[in-house]
Amino acid sequence: MGQTITEQILDDHLVEGELTPGEEIGIDIDQVLTQDTTGTMVWLQFEALDLDEVQTELAAQYCDHQTYQFDFKNTDDHRFLRSAAGTFGAYFSRPGNGICHQVHKENFAAPGKTLLGSDSHTPTPGGLGQLAIGAGGLDIAVAMGGGAYYVEMPEIVNVELTGELPEWATAKDVALHLLGELTVKGGVGKVLEYTGPGVETLTIPERTTITNLGTELGATSSIFGTDEKTKDWLARQDREEEHVELSPDEDAEYAETIEVDLSSLEPLIATPSMPDNVVPVREVAGEDVEQVIIGSCTNGAYEDILPGAKMLEGREVAKKTEMIVAPGSKQASEMLAREGWTAEMMAAGVNFSEATCGACIGIGHVPASDSVSLRTFNRNFEGRSGIEDDSVYLCSPEVATAAAITGKIVDPRDLADELGDLEAPGLEMGTKYGPGMGESDPDIISPDEAVDDGLIKGPNIGDVPLKDELASDIEGEALLKMEDNITTDHIIPATADILKFRSNIEKLSEFTLSRVDDTFAQRALDADGGFLVAGENYGQGSSREHAALCPMFLGVEGVLAQSFARIHKANLFNFGLVPLTIDEETYENIDQGDDVEIVDDVGEGVRNGATEFTIRVNDDWEATAHLDASEREREILAAGGKLSWTKQQHQSGSGAAPADD
């Protein structure tokens, strides 16, 4: 039987298992990426595993999320990351050089290779044929040490594109359209593979906008094949020789086909506060807008910013509106600057930011109270912008710029009609300036150019906490009952005041679930253990393993949810928390404060492959909870988490350890 592109790449990298959807497979990882807010834990874990050298073809450490460094803790983190990259053999991208996904795409992403990253938007270079997957930091540390990455073999869905985008509709609208149709959990357990005649009409920056937003669907990854456009894009990055042909076999079989006629799309917008609250822009037109931001890993390329610059030529940003451009990389900034576009935009009233995630996670440019902010980003979870009850909309750069010009949400087609001389900017490809392949880049320190030898840890950089082996009896309070689609931003918020403690779990854990209930952390500590209860898709969003690590630190022993998001579920196993699924009736019947006991011997059940556990609530009623775990995940859980398990494996010489021996 023929293979899809995903199956071809997985087959080439398979070290364990079979490509049967739902079965666990182990794959070899060619490249890894980490960033500043997840990276410190990655390297601390790498160190705790007694590893001394990166084993993958390439590892890259980016400093992108918090680059303003208004606290020594953050600057210390960046110095630690530089020292870790230098000591262990990774590339180091300096703070301000840009967002990991954009910089990785420009410099290293290669078709046909596997990439694992400690950030949920790692699938971005799927737009140029790389099979890229986001994971928790501990999985990255193990993969960097040469261990395989284990994941449930996803279903491969064919997203068949036909037609061509009309004027003013963009790649962002393709992604928003899918979000509106499939919702934030529609892609869980799936890889979306884009095929059909519409593909060749899309450029690489457009394709990577679509693959980036596949994360918001919960997808394991998203991927396009390669073609002349891929080759041309690599050539513009001076990396043409990395091109390989990739297409599905003619008789490849997909689990499902979703058709999208590009010609039928129009400007869309995600309204507050979920990326799948999608409506046509016209439905919310007229709403006052106080802030507009173009940038992020979704729409931060030169090609994403240029349309806004063209729309602003000879125009001004509305007086009551602030417009910020935060390029995704220094490369994008440099291209815009050299061509004079930066000056044009500044003259129109645009404020330029350094190339950083920043505002996307509430670091800088926090919106005013009771105001609307239009952003070209990928997430608008409540409070993520840095203020509670925010009102963040997600849209294309064209829609964002139209709002900046008028001070109101407006469909750019209607604005064009009104102004008479506003032309659809379309998409124009850029070519990078600066160092070519193999030449030294001042913003990327290669392992050969390393400037440190040994780790430099500031006072805020703590140790990685460990958990005891899984106990036989687990009983405790239902500490918090939550609804559907709880994000890891709810569990461990990002914002500036909290982010600086990412390397200090004791301190960070004080903020656990504070966005849902700010008494939680103290109550969990006082209760000395207990459970979290949640609805569907618990833990969606970011890959931050802190969302499992901090509850573990506070004594939480398990999560009872109707369903879990992929990366978070893996993180729960990695830190020894039992993820059990419950049905809707059980969810409805459990109240916060109830006493929950797992009746069976949990340690034994987990070790022996039990899939069902009886839970007794308030010594009154019983229900069945399910454990969906591979043999490897059970061993990890029983050992008290992946760090202990990997060490045990290493000591017993069973070969599963990521050691370089």
Kindly list the residues in this chain that would bind ligand MIC in the complex (CB under 6 A). Answer: 37-38, 65, 119-121, 361, 379, 494, 541-544
Q: Quick one: what does residue 495 bind among ligand SF4, ligand MIC, none, with the CB cut-off 5 to 8 Å set by partner type?
A: none
**In angstroms, how far is CA 623 from the centroid of its own chain?**
34
Q: Quick one: what does residue 544 bind among ligand SF4, ligand MIC, none, with the CB cut-off 5 to 8 Å set by partner type?
A: ligand MIC
Q: Which residue's CB is nearer to ligand SF4, number 225 or number 362?
A: 362
CB of 386 to ligand SF4, least distance (A): 12
Q: Which residues are registered as beta bridge partners of 93?
A: 62, 444
CB of 90 to ligand MIC, least distance (A): 17
Which phi and psi (to 5°) does residue 502 adopt?
-60, -25
Task: Return d(Cα 164, Cα 265) in angstroms, integer.
Answer: 9
Q: Which residue's CB is nearer to ligand MIC, number 75 or number 342?
A: 75
Q: Which residue's CB is nearer to ligand SF4, number 65 or number 481?
A: 65
Q: Which residue's CB is nearer to ligand SF4, number 161 or number 360?
A: 360
In one-letter notation, the amino acid at residue 130 is Q
Q: Which residue's CB is nearer to ligand SF4, number 183 or number 378?
A: 378
CB of 119 to ligand SF4, least distance (A): 5
Measure the CA angle with vertex 151, ends 47 and 89; round to 5°. 30
CB of 38 to ligand MIC, least distance (A): 5
Q: Quick one: what does residue 296 bind among ligand SF4, ligand MIC, none, with the CB cut-off 5 to 8 Å set by partner type?
A: ligand SF4
3-state secondary structure 16-85: ECCCCCCCEEEECCCEEEECHHHHHHHHHHHHHCCCCCCCCCEEEEECCCCCCCCCHHHHHHHHHHHHHH
Q: Which residues are registered as beta bridge partners of 352?
A: 325
Instruction: Give the residue carrying structure tokens 């064919």.
Output: 158
Q: Quick one: what does residue 399 bind among ligand MIC, ligand SF4, none, with the CB cut-off 5 to 8 Å set by partner type?
A: none
Q: Quick one: what does residue 148 bind among ligand SF4, ligand MIC, none, with the CB cut-off 5 to 8 Å set by partner type?
A: none
> What crossing angle do the helices spanning 36-48 and 137-144 adopt, rounded to 10°?
50
What 3-state DSSP class applies to 348? coil
CB of 20 to ligand SF4, least distance (A): 32
Task: Return d(Cα 186, Cα 181) in angstroms, integer.
Answer: 8
Q: Which helix (H) or strand (E) holds 153?
A: none
Q: Quick one: what does residue 549 bind among ligand MIC, ligand SF4, none, with the CB cut-off 5 to 8 Å set by partner type?
A: none
Q: Quick one: what does residue 432 bind among ligand MIC, ligand SF4, none, with the CB cut-off 5 to 8 Å set by partner type?
A: none
CB of 65 to ligand SF4, least distance (A): 6
232: nearest Cα among 303, 145, 293, 316: 303
CB of 101 to ligand MIC, least distance (A): 9
Q: Which residue's CB is nearer to ligand SF4, number 144 or number 494?
A: 494
Q: Quick one: what does residue 556 bind among ligand MIC, ligand SF4, none, with the CB cut-off 5 to 8 Å set by partner type?
A: none
Q: Which residue's CB is nearer to ligand SF4, number 64 or number 600?
A: 64
Q: Which residue's CB is nearer to ligand MIC, number 310 or number 515?
A: 515
Q: Quick one: what does residue 99 bind among ligand MIC, ligand SF4, none, with the CB cut-off 5 to 8 Å set by partner type?
A: ligand SF4
Q: Which residue's CB is nearer to ligand SF4, number 65 or number 457?
A: 65
CB of 538 to ligand MIC, least distance (A): 16
Q: Are 396 and 306 in contact (CB under 8 A)?
A: no
CB of 362 to ligand MIC, least distance (A): 10
For the beta sheet containing 149-152, the strands, ordered from the edge strand earlier in sequence to the opposite edge, are 14-16, 24-27, 149-152
> What crossing angle do the helices spanning 36-48 and 72-88 adopt, rounded to 10°?
50
Count of CA atoms in the C-beta half-sphere (13 A) of 401: 30
Q: Which residue's CB is nearer to ligand MIC, number 265 or number 491?
A: 491
CB of 418 to ligand MIC, least distance (A): 35
Q: Quick one: what does residue 543 bind among ligand SF4, ligand MIC, none, with the CB cut-off 5 to 8 Å set by partner type?
A: ligand MIC
Q: Which residue's CB is nearer to ligand SF4, number 226 or number 495?
A: 495
In order of 492, 524, 578, 627, the CA distances from 551 in angstroms are 9, 8, 12, 19
Alpha-carbon torsion (516, 521, 525, 529), positive or negative = positive
Q: Quick one: what does residue 365 bind among ligand SF4, ligand MIC, none, with the CB cut-off 5 to 8 Å set by partner type?
A: none
CB of 598 to ligand SF4, least distance (A): 36
Going by C-beta distance under 8 Å and a sequence separation of 6 or more, which residues neighbour residue 111? 128, 129, 130, 226, 230, 242, 243, 244, 246
- Residue 340 buriedness (CB in 10 A; 0-12 / 13-18 / 19+): exposed
Q: Are 433 and 339 in contact (CB under 8 A)?
A: no
CB atoms within 10 A of CB 626: 14
Q: Which residue's CB is nearer to ligand SF4, number 508 or number 659?
A: 508
DSSP-derived secondary structure for 410-424: --HHHHHHHHSS---
Q: Quick one: what does residue 37 bind among ligand SF4, ligand MIC, none, with the CB cut-off 5 to 8 Å set by partner type?
A: ligand MIC
Q: Which residue's CB is nearer to ligand SF4, number 350 or number 357?
A: 357
CB of 230 to ligand SF4, least distance (A): 22
Q: Quick one: what does residue 38 bind among ligand SF4, ligand MIC, none, with the CB cut-off 5 to 8 Å set by partner type?
A: ligand MIC
CB of 142 to ligand SF4, least distance (A): 22
Q: DSSP assignment, residue 367?
A: P
Alpha-carbon torsion (102, 108, 113, 117), positive or negative = negative
Q: Which residue's CB is nearer to ligand SF4, number 353 or number 649?
A: 353
3-state secondary structure 73-124: HHHHHHHHHHHHHHHHCCEEECCCEECHHHHHHHHCCCCCCEEEECCCCCCH
Q: Interface with ligand SF4 by CB under 6 A: which residues?
A: 65, 99, 119, 121, 296-297, 357, 360-361, 377-379
Going by C-beta distance under 8 Å and a sequence separation of 6 or more, which residues neighbour residue 368? 290, 291
Q: Which residue's CB is nearer to ligand SF4, number 361 or number 623?
A: 361
3-state secondary structure 559-578: EEECCECHHHHHHHHHCCCE
CB of 359 to ligand SF4, least distance (A): 9
CB of 361 to ligand MIC, least distance (A): 5
What 3-state DSSP class applies to 192? strand
Q: Are 421 and 46 in contact (CB under 8 A)?
A: no
Instruction: Give the residue carrying structure tokens 């006991």.
Output: 597
